[in-house]
Structure 1
Amino acid sequence: MEHINEEIDFLTSTVKGIAKQFGSDCEVVLLDLTQHEKYGSGLIVRIENGHVTGRKVGDTGTNLGLEVLRGTDQEGDKHNYLTKTKDGRMLRSTTMYIRNSEGKPIGCICINFDITSLMMAETSIKEFTDLNKINTDVKEVFVNNVNDVLALLIQEAQNHVGKPVAHMSKEDKMKGIKYLDEKGAFLIQKSGDKICEYYGISKYTLYNYLDTVRSTQGI
């Protein structure tokens, strides 16, 4: 195999090393192109994980090799391109040619990584995490105790009003209290004390506000 013979041990080690690094879904192939005039069987001289494409030592190369040997494709090397097996599995492939001192291709290393399972997993993940298919209107926060729930609701009430307590008018505070009432804040034990403290009002005022907002809701 011309100069490729001198490097066969290194190339075999390289083929095996790449396959070991990326696992059983990664096929790595070494082809001998020194007898390219007989482009048929016998081109594959080393192969790891041949089950990926169903090939074995002694089988032939692909159509891309013909283009390189014919001179139609001068560059030859192709990196990270998509291919497909006869049974429809998708591969991520790289082809690299070994040339002699005259630039003539005498060998080739091909890497074919089966990404079919990864693509299926990606599709499933996208389906499961597509926010366009998930109801994002529901606001649920997981906390450790009921006081955290109340604190969260009070903050939401302030966001609902759109201003800090220091700048709230009576109407703003009633709007916030209405929000808290609708969210069930007053079902929390002793919530009235914390809400009064937050808004800077007495319990008497709080209950007056509550009576007013509930009467408008028909509660």
Structure 2
Amino acid sequence: MTPELRPYCLVCDAIALLFQPYAEVVLHDLATETVVQIAGNFSKREIGEASLLSEIGFSQGEAIIGPYEKVNWDGRSIKAISAVLRNADGKAIGVLCINADVSDFHAALRTLNALVRVPIDADKPESLFKEDWHERVNEYVQQWTVARGLTVSSLSRNDKQALVIALSADGAFGGKNAASYISRILGMGRATVYKYLSQGSAP
């Protein structure tokens, strides 16, 4: 191994240890074009084997290559990035490759997408939502906050007062126990809701 590459062996070990079991780090020596260090090995490569740097499109003028995609021997998806290592004179002496196994994350994304996806042509059942004022209140609050760049949890006292008045103007308090429900979702007492309502209706 080129002596100047030895300190990078510890870097390889540290990265692989931090992200185990999802990261493999491979150090290539350009003097011999061989693999000189592998940490977190899941590619079944071996120290001393040919680097095959053409696989990552290595050229002398590059510094960072990637990120790019690869496929592991077992079919798992790999996201990789490579860094060209240079000595004090600027000469390229090695390439450090970090391979991240992202297969589990892809699987998790597919599961999440399946859970949250609703068919495009799926309408809300009219019989279920026809009289559901809870749903109408929820949608109104969501639209009101989004339009102002807010969230329910971040509403100030003045924001809540303005929202209560806006809900009242749109008839949201017509449902039975609506005041109690609105007070709960806005995190304040029912008496405060009635106070805001009285202030909003005052001449």
TM-score range for the pair, normalised by the shorter chain length: 0.5 to 0.7
1:153, 1:30 → 2: CA distance? Answer: 57
1:132, 1:153 → 2: CA distance? Answer: 20
Query: 1:120/1:66 Cα in 2 relative to 1: closer, same or farther (>3 Å)?
Result: closer
Q: How many residues align?
A: 143
The RMSD of aligned alpha carbons is 3.8
Contact 2:62 2:84 in 1 (8 A): no
Tell me which of 30, 36, 57 is aligned to 2:27.
30
CA offsets 1:146-195 (integer angstroms, 9 cap, x no match): xxxx9859979xxxxx95499xxxxxxxxx99xx9xxxxxxxxxxxxxxx
Amino acid of the structure 1 residue aligned with 2:50 = T
Tell me which of 42, 49, 61 is aligned to 2:51.
61
1:7: how far off?
4.8
Contact 2:12 2:26 in 1 (8 A): yes
Q: What corresponds to 1:145 in structure 2?
A: none
Amino acid of the structure 2 residue aligned with 1:107 = G
Contact 2:29 2:94 in 1 (8 A): yes
Matched, 1:94 2:81: yes
1:85: how far off?
2.1
Matched, 1:16 2:13: yes
Query: 1:130/1:100 Cα in 2 relative to 1: closer, same or farther (>3 Å)?
Result: same
2:56, 2:114 → 1: CA distance? Answer: 41
In structure 1, runs of 5+ residues without a counterpart are: 37-42, 142-149, 157-161, 167-175, 181-219
Contact 2:27 2:96 in 1 (8 A): yes
1:120, 1:114 → 2: CA distance? Answer: 12
After TM superposition, what 4+ stretches of structure 1 lie above 4 angstroms from structure 2?
A: 133-136, 138-141, 150-156
Equivalence map 1:91-170=2 (5 Å): 91-132=78-119, 137-138=124-125, 152=134, 164=171
2:62, 2:136 → 1: CA distance? Answer: 67
Structure with a larger share of its residues in helix = 1
1:77, 1:24 → 2: CA distance? Answer: 24
Query: 1:134/1:25 Cα in 2 relative to 1: closer, same or farther (>3 Å)?
Result: farther
Tell me which of 35, 39, 50 is aligned to 1:44.
35
Tell me which of 62, 65, 68 is aligned to 1:78.
65
Larger Rg: 1
1:80, 1:15 → 2: CA distance? Answer: 17
1:84, 1:60 → 2: CA distance? Answer: 18
- Quote the sequence identity (%): 23
2:102, 2:28 → 1: CA distance? Answer: 23
**TM-score for the superposition, normalised by structure 1:** 0.52
